[in-house]
Amino acid sequence: MTGMPPGLSRRGFLAAVGTGLVSTTGAWAAAPDPLALVDPELRAAAEASARNAARPNPPANRQPPPNPVPLPPPAPQPVIRTVPGPPGAPDVRVMIIDGSQLHRGKPVYLFMHGGGFIGGRFDQNLQRLQVRARDSGCMLVSVEYRLAPATRFPGALEDNYAVLRWLHREADALGIDRARIAVGGDSAGGGHAAMLAIAARDRGEFPIAFQLLVYPMLDDRTGSGTPVPPHIGTYVWTVDANRNGWSALLGQPPGLPTVPPGSVPGRVEDLAGLPPAFIAVGGLDLFVEEDIAYARRLNAAGVPVELLVVPGAYHAFMNIVPGARVSRQFNAAIIAALRRGLGVTTP
């Protein structure tokens, strides 16, 4: 495998990274060409990303289309609802995709979209969300939380918490099982999900059963006080982008000695009592070291955690090259983890 440490298989490397026996920085830090470390099926998209980044005026990130086209039935169809927002704040829109075959006792996947805290929508990657709801056998609820910098922390957290509150209070009407609610998200959405799990633990009102964190954005110090090896964070999501996202959310430069309590999961001192977690990230993703560190700290705090690190994969690779073998395996692992975490046994 390209970029693998000598004598170690892909599966062996994955297991070793998960246990801390192999550093994701040591073996690759001296590599002269980061592209050589990228999985072959992901290289063309990585090269395109690098070309765009090198242009004098790179194009702005495109927002999802105004009306994302869903997969037709029998795929579960999206339904938009509005739920009561936080006290003194607007109501919150949610998109519900019911992939459960149950009439009562449905497991729920409360999902937060990505976008670096400053962009994205609750209906982005709609078809992928339909597939995730269908294959996991869950009711997926995607939150249209308020974005930074117009809304600083804790605005988005309170939006997400309001939806968690609504799910618990309306569980009977929705036909869901209060004891089987997972929170999760991709990228910044994974960061929001981790913040929500911490807030729910601290407030002690509405329990969460599981965390599904996909290349989550967990620590503002990455690239702002904590150095990043040159081959990590080269493609798609870079140190500069990371600084911008965290600055917008926190209202201060990232990496300062103090941050608002609960705003940066990687800085929360006590992780005991959090729900079991599954964390998945690419080995070349800017977030890989902070995600590994968070998994280690969860494990040390007695929180069951499973960590998946995919060699040769950069940020958001499964969305950028969904047909690649590593993307399909990554997505299958996410679905399997969600089903295990919520005890879904239906086909």
Catalytic sites, residue numbers: 187, 285, 315
| Kind of pairing between the strands at 92-98 and 78-83 | antiparallel
CA–CA separation, 265 and 134 (whole Å)? 30
Other CB atoms within 10 A of residue 202 CB: 13
The first and second tokens of residue 242, run together, are 């990371």
Q: Which residues of 132-157 are buried (b: 16+ CB within 10 A; e: fewer)?
A: bbbbbbbbbbbbbbbbbeebbbbbbb
The first and second tokens of residue 137, run together, are 């056998």
Q: Half-sphere exposure of residue 90, counting CA atoms within 13 Å on the CB side?
A: 10
CA–CA separation, 95 and 196 (whole Å)? 18
CA–CA separation, 137 and 100 (whole Å)? 4
CA–CA separation, 162 and 84 (whole Å)? 7
